Homo-oligomer: A and B are copies of this chain.
């Protein structure tokens, strides 16, 4: 028993602590294919090497979310194996495309700690950085997660709550080297809507729904070497249900958003994210988006849309984010994600 990983508990973390996560993982064309079998993704850049090259991306990058899930999965055994809940993300930036053949490794630094008033758990804030085999940063992000204490009697650490930006500033977005949407082929990409066609405040119902299965979410989550027990083991929860990895819902919603946002080709940053309700096999997931902000960028022909991406259980044509009475996320909202996408101008 002593050789197995019990995961870290709240009192195992200290501010400034650096955790180097196992195990490095090489991303391949196989991952692109499996991803495409699990999510209805159709964005032209990750779908077509030829299209990607036509906008300056050669070799052919995988989707940012592939990189995110791989990099995030590394952190689970050390950060969230004993988590009660994944509370939020902030300041996630994609620094360079991840290419087949790249090997990702992830390191995390503890940037905050706050014990809960019940004394049985606390919130751990980490900043995680994934690098490729050349040591270049591929992406980084902050995350906070509620973690059990091993011993409720263990003393509370000094409370440190890091200041995290509500959103990545448009001028801090990192654009892939060479990205150029000047000769963007809208017909090939699937929709005519460009940067100027979207208005702040506009909402888009992405219409399509996908019914989740027990096999598919496990295959996805396993592909990222995510080891959280509740996803794979029907005996891990008293109700015998397998909780679906929140990232599965992120990828599903992002893929569904193609229908109305087909030209939002690349994710440049994730500003915030909350998994507001659990998802289970049998749920039918829909998505809608809201345009939160718009910004120009320095890359030729490239604009940035700040989008709220909302996944719901069952379709909500009213696109209601919050319950009017309680102010909390409306019943049925599974995901509330805030991100920057790059789109042709």
Q: Which residues of A contact B (CB under 8 A)?
A: 1, 3-5, 20, 22-26, 28-34, 36-44, 47-51, 60, 77, 100-101, 103, 105, 133, 187-191, 193, 197, 204-211, 213-216, 218-220, 222-223, 225, 227, 229, 232-236, 242, 259-262, 282, 284, 314-315
Contact = CB atoms under 8 A, between A and B. Distances in A.
A214 B216 CA distance: 10
A6 to B, nearest CB: 8
Contacts of A48: 23-26, 103
A25 to B, nearest CB: 5
Given A23-B42, A23-B43, 13 more contacts: A3-B197, A5-B191, A5-B259, A22-B44, A22-B190, A22-B262, A24-B44, A37-B223, A208-B233, A209-B232, A214-B215, A215-B215, A234-B284
A299 to B, nearest CB: 21
A219 B37 contact: yes
A23 B52 CA distance: 12
Given A24-B47, A26-B48, A48-B23, A222 B40 contact: yes
Pairs of residues from A and B, 10 with the lowest C-beta to C-beta distance, nearest first: A30-B33, A22-B190, A215-B215, A24-B48, A211-B234, A37-B219, A28-B29, A50-B103, A3-B260, A30-B30
Contacts of A31: 30, 33
B193 A3 contact: yes
A143 B215 CA distance: 32
A276 to B, nearest CB: 21
A214 B282 CA distance: 11
A208 B284 CA distance: 29
A188 B131 CA distance: 13
8 contacts: A4-B205, A23-B47, A24-B44, A25-B47, A25-B48, A42-B225, A49-B103, A235-B314
A39 to B, nearest CB: 7
Contacts of A225: 36, 40-42, 47
A129 to B, nearest CB: 15
Contacts of A40: 222, 225, 227, 232
A135 B204 CA distance: 35
A295 to B, nearest CB: 20
Nearest to A48: B24
B49 A1 contact: no
Given A50-B133, A213-B214, A187 B36 contact: no
Contacts of A30: 28-34
Contacts of A208: 227, 229, 232-233
